[in-house]
Structure 1
Amino acid sequence: MSDFYKVLLPLLGLLLGAMPLGAQGEFIDVLDLPARVSPLAQVAPLNDVTRTGDKLVAVGQRGHILFSDDAGNQWQQARVPVSSDLNAVYFPTPQQGWAVGHDGVILHSEDAGATWNKQLDGRQIGGLMLAHYTALAAAEPNNEQWAARQADAQRMVEEGADKALLDVWFANERLGYAVGVFGLILRTEDGGQHWQPLGERTDNPQSLHLNAIAGVDGVPYIAGEQGLLLRWDVAQQRFVALQTPYSGSFFGVIGTGNELLVYGLRGHVLRSVDGGTSWNMLNSGLQNSITAAVRDASGHVLLFSQVGHVLRTTSSGELEALPQQALAPVSGADFAAGDSLVLVGNRGVRSQRLP
């Protein structure tokens, strides 16, 4: 880290406000502390952005959620009941959306991102998992896996709200998934009123981090560390592992039909045209991690690196680098209107037009 950022980041933290204390100086959990409204929220670190109807919604550190009604020209800060860092946001309909983040937090909005309510947090997840696996153990006392999962759940109860959720995806306004560290995966079938652990139906015996989840023609795929790529199998009713030729971390997956792109560490991008049965490694020309992707109106996929490079798929399925005037970190991207992109990263939100 440069000396400039060593000075800037502490100052930014002071301007955004240190963690406040109660009237008697007692500690307030970030899960109980509403996000502070700050004039600097637009330039503070943001982790994800999505378009919902005519709006844009971005999420980031300290519980900040921003929304724009005018294609990203002006941004307003939403009312958020927590100050936990938020990692991802997804809207299956223009009005209904979910955001997830650190401390196991899951937030829900019914008004296109203007206001949010907490549905779940990490203080509840351990107990939820313990009840789930205790019931399975009672139903199948000779099944040894339930005892192991009970022990893991008990440990989560004791450790408290320290497990981050990294991504969220909903097939519709009722069926959705949230994924996170150490193989944490939850599913809801009633719009988040109830969440169910899904670890026993996921091919992830090492409890690897689940970094991202996305739908491809309505089928959920999960990208994780150590080359883990999972796809929901309707017949088996579980997430099954797909074999890939890369053993590093994947940070996202995007696709349509039988064509899939999975991207991740050190510029690695893999392409499949048969639904994940076989893969080709694409030449990104980068050593920087690919951290975001979005499909344009013509069907081409844009990929963004952690430092701001932009790549685009060609008609032949290869990658071409787009010219950039200046680089800035990108953690999330979406289209505002036409060829205008909205990008978020550790410098906040910015707009960019495609060359």
Structure 2
Amino acid sequence: MTTIKWFLLAALAAAMAVPFTHPAVAGEFADVLDTPALPSALAAHATLTGLARAGERLIAVGQRGHILYSDDAGQHWQQASVPVSSDLVAVHFPNPQQGWAVGHDGVVLHSSDAGQTWNRQLDGRQIGPIMLDYYRQQLARQPDDADLQARVNDAQRMVEEGADKPFLDVWFESDQVGYIVGAFNLIFRTDDGGRHWTPLLERTDNPTALNLYALRPIGDQLFIVGEQGLVLKLDRPSARFKATPTPYNGSFFGITGKPGVALVFGLRGNVYRSTDDGASWNKVELGLPISITASSVTADGRIVLVSQAGQVLVSADDGASFQIQPNTSLAPVAAAQITKSGALVLAGTRGLRQLPLE
């Protein structure tokens, strides 16, 4: 089981690198891709790494295939029915009913009932064959293209390696069109709600196959962030994700903002802000040398960042400056989400908790 996804959580990396064997038959290996997530009364207190809103409902995903949902702003949680036990990393709902979750072992899950039940659309056993078939077809049309030949070779290697590549984020612009990104420049797009996926690895300015940690739209622009200061922006005319240089060469774990203001954040408290659709970036001084691992935006436009240690920072000036919220109960945090009532829900190694936002 790969541990690459835990770079997204910085200090949490070492905690989760434990393979899971179904306990029903002692000593007998059970593939997590074929083993449903076990019901657990403690699921809301276990490691959870992704949060999303499905209308007024909150959805959380995490370790061993656990998915939970809450209809009272995070005060109480129920566990969903999930067909795999792979660790899940991220979740997104483009509307209140349709949602997708991704994680280890190349897993892509879909829900059509607001997160109560899930089905598997894709896993790591399929990724290599899909890529190999796609790039072989492309190479047949352009047999002298060295880049396509390299893609075929990479796909063949993925087939041989099996289901060990994680997806690290998911975003859908509608219930039909969406993207998934992950380790080693993995990126796919669907135009039919996840029934079919098309690899886009050749459409990124990422020649060294850096990990892609997150993707999100800011206004009309779609950004991807990753290792070594990588920030990509979708150029819609060419359907290509083009690099937008930043002054920082460390990992970015996420992106947040609102129309006209984009912020990328990552290691050691590094946050950079752009007000020109990513053409230029300026550092935001937090005075906090701790990695930023989560974010959200309130209904009134305040931007919220959360550190790996659980400090909550709030900006009321479009991300130009941040103030640390006092009296925060510190605990490692991986994801944050503002509820409709304005409370802040955090997910991390100690499960789920709700905080008032001053």
TM-score norm. by structure 2 comes to 0.92
Query: Does structure 1 residue 173 correspond to structure 2 residue 175?
Result: yes
Residue matched to 1:324: 327
User: Residues of 1 paired with 2:327 and 2:336: CA distance?
Assistant: 16
Residue matched to 1:136: 138
Deviations along 1:212-259, one digit per CA (max 9) or x if unpaired, are 011122432101000000011011111000011000000111122231
Query: Which residue identity lines up with residue 256 of structure 2 in the other structure?
Result: I
Question: Cα 1:155–1:138, aligned 2, differ >3 Å: closer, same or farther?
Answer: same
Which of 334, 346, 356 is equivalent to 1:353? 356
Which of 257, 277, 280 is equivalent to 1:278? 280
Query: Which residue identity lines up with residue 182 of structure 1 in the other structure?
Result: F
Report SS of the residue matched to 2:333. Answer: coil
Deviations along 1:87-139, one digit per CA (max 9) or x if unpaired, are 00000010000000000000000000000000000000000000011001100
Question: Cα 1:58–1:218, aligned 2, differ >3 Å: closer, same or farther?
Answer: farther
Residue matched to 1:48: 50
Report SS of the residue matched to 2:255. Answer: strand
Residue matched to 1:200: 202
Q: How does 1:231-270 map to 2 (within 5 A)?
A: 231-270=233-272
User: Residues of 2 paired with 1:188 and 1:194: CA distance?
Assistant: 6
Residue matched to 1:340: 343
Query: Which residue identity lines up with residue 88 of structure 1 in the other structure?
Result: A
Q: How does 1:74-153 map to 2 (within 5 A)?
A: 74-153=76-155
Aligned residues: 342
Question: Cα 1:23–1:300, aligned 2, differ >3 Å: closer, same or farther?
Answer: closer
List gaps (5 residues or longer) in structure 2. Answer: 1-14
List gaps (5 residues or longer) in structure 1. Answer: 1-8
Cα distance, 1:24 vs structure 2: 9.4
Query: Which residue identity lines up with residue 285 of structure 1 in the other structure?
Result: G
Deviations along 1:199-224, one digit per CA (max 9) or x if unpaired, are 01111000000000111224321010
Query: Which residue identity lines up with residue 19 of structure 1 in the other structure?
Result: T
Which of 205, 210, 213 is equivalent to 1:211? 213
Contact 1:309 1:324 in 2 (8 A): no
Cα distance, 1:29 vs structure 2: 0.6
Contact 2:301 2:316 in 1 (8 A): no
Cα distance, 1:22 vs structure 2: 6.9
Residue matched to 2:69: 67
Contact 1:257 1:275 in 2 (8 A): no
Cα distance, 1:347 vs structure 2: 0.3
Residue matched to 2:189: 187
Deviations along 1:145-194, one digit per CA (max 9) or x if unpaired, are 11111110000000000001000000111110000001111110100000
Identity of aligned residues (%): 54
Contact 1:21 1:27 in 2 (8 A): no
TM-score norm. by structure 1 comes to 0.93
Question: Cα 1:24–1:71, aligned 2, differ >3 Å: closer, same or farther?
Answer: closer
Give me the CA root mean square deviation: 1.7
Report SS of the residue matched to 1:136. Answer: helix
Contact 1:171 1:218 in 2 (8 A): no
Question: Cα 1:72–1:144, aligned 2, differ >3 Å: closer, same or farther?
Answer: same
User: Residues of 2 paired with 1:125 and 1:253: CA distance?
Assistant: 26
Residue matched to 1:291: 293
Contact 2:20 2:32 in 1 (8 A): no
Residue matched to 2:310: 308
Cα distance, 1:274 vs structure 2: 0.9
Deviations along 1:255-290, one digit per CA (max 9) or x if unpaired, are 222311110010000011111111110111111110
Residue matched to 1:5: none
Query: Which residue identity lines up with residue 160 of structure 2 in the other structure?
Result: E
Question: Cα 1:341–1:150, aligned 2, differ >3 Å: closer, same or farther?
Answer: same
Report SS of the residue matched to 1:266. Answer: helix
Cα distance, 1:336 vs structure 2: 2.0
Cα distance, 1:346 vs structure 2: 0.4
Cα distance, 1:142 vs structure 2: 1.1
Contact 1:22 1:28 in 2 (8 A): no
Residue matched to 1:4: none
Contact 2:48 2:61 in 1 (8 A): yes
User: Residues of 1 paired with 2:40 and 2:186: CA distance?
Assistant: 32
User: Residues of 2 paired with 1:137 and 1:224: CA distance?
Assistant: 28
Compare 128-137 and 209-218 and name the one that shifted more: 209-218
User: Residues of 1 paired with 2:173 and 2:20: CA distance?
Assistant: 38
User: Residues of 1 paired with 2:352 and 2:154: CA distance?
Assistant: 39
Report SS of the residue matched to 1:298. Answer: coil
User: Residues of 2 paired with 1:302 and 1:122: CA distance?
Assistant: 34
User: Residues of 1 paired with 2:196 and 2:298: CA distance?
Assistant: 35
